[in-house]
Amino acid sequence: MDDSNFENRENRNFLSMTDIVASVKKSPGENQEFVVDSLISKEHLLDLLTCSHEVSLTEDNGKVILTVGTSLHAGNSDKLRERRNLSKLSAHTHPLIESDLQASSLSADDIWAADFRDLGKVLVLIHADGILVYQKPTKHFLEDKIFDRKTESGFALFLSFLNSKGIAFFNALAEWRPNEFKWIYSLSEQMQLDLNRDFIAVTGMVVQEARWGDERAMTEVLKLFNLG
Ligand SMILES: [Zn+2]
């Protein structure tokens, strides 16, 4: 679908979250957009994970907007990107169908996208194990080094973190200096996940985590979706 046509479309579907999730599961057409006209519950979000496509939840004019992406990407139209960076809510799903382990943590793309979010505002990942609230890194992975989050890139910090462990994000580097670097995607999924989780923990990216079974933490995190 042509992004510009999509963005100019004025008539959005106002539906309850229950109806939206049912509709998206039945026909997950890319770039569909809905205005959520009800509260959002934990059950809605769990149900959304069984959809074959990634889905974004952002805010516009005090309402949550649900946008359908692709099976591997939450969508990237200009308007969606703007809301993801600036609006009150910036959440996306990693569907259960993405069976690899990495789906339960931030992707490299997610670390990259966090650089563009308004400083002081959080982002949210809905995944198989629960909900992860995160932000751009707040500190360097080395204790004696400073990370200036106003001017420096968290994604660049991720690349340095990998390099410090003899891992290259880009295969070109691994091919150029094979004695020093291994390409990240040549590692096992478990190793990739461990590296990723280690990075987001030591650099202060993790703001809050709520497991599906942890009712107290879940109640707290759900306030974000209901714009509380
Ligand atoms: Zn993601």
| 93 CA distance to ligand 1 middle (Å) | 7
Give the tens place of pLDDT for each residue, 142-194: 999 999 999 999 999 999 999 999 999 999 998 999 999 999 999 998 899 89
For ligand 1, a single-atom ion, the residues with CB < 5 A are 107, 110
Which CA distances in Å does 171 have to 74, 157, 196? 25, 18, 17
| 46 CA distance to ligand 1 middle (Å) | 16
Shared-domain flag, residues 99 and 173: no
Confidence at 4, pLDDT banded by 50, 70, 90: very low
Shared-domain flag, residues 40 and 64: yes
For residue 118, the 8-state DSSP code is P
Shared-domain flag, residues 121 and 152: no
User: How many structural domains are present in the chain?
Assistant: 2
- Read off the pLDDT of each residue in 75-99 and give the average, rounded to a whole number: 89
Distance CA(76)–CA(227), nearest Å, equals: 23
| 202 CA distance to ligand 1 middle (Å) | 19
Shared-domain flag, residues 127 and 85: yes
Shared-domain flag, residues 48 and 122: yes
Residue closest to 82 by CA, chosen among 47, 106, 113:
113
Shared-domain flag, residues 114 and 23: yes
Give the tens place of pLDDT for each residue, 100-112: 655 778 989 999 9
| 109 CA distance to ligand 1 middle (Å) | 7
Give the angle subtended at the CA of 101 by the CAs of 87 and 56, to the nearest 5°: 20
| 30 CA distance to ligand 1 middle (Å) | 16
| Bridge partner residues of 127 (DSSP) | 130
Mean pLDDT of the chain: 90
| 144 CA distance to ligand 1 middle (Å) | 30
What's the whole-model pTM score?
0.90
Host domain of residue 171: 137-203
Asked if 165 and 195 touch (Cβ cutoff 8 Å), the reply is yes
pLDDT at residue number 2: 45
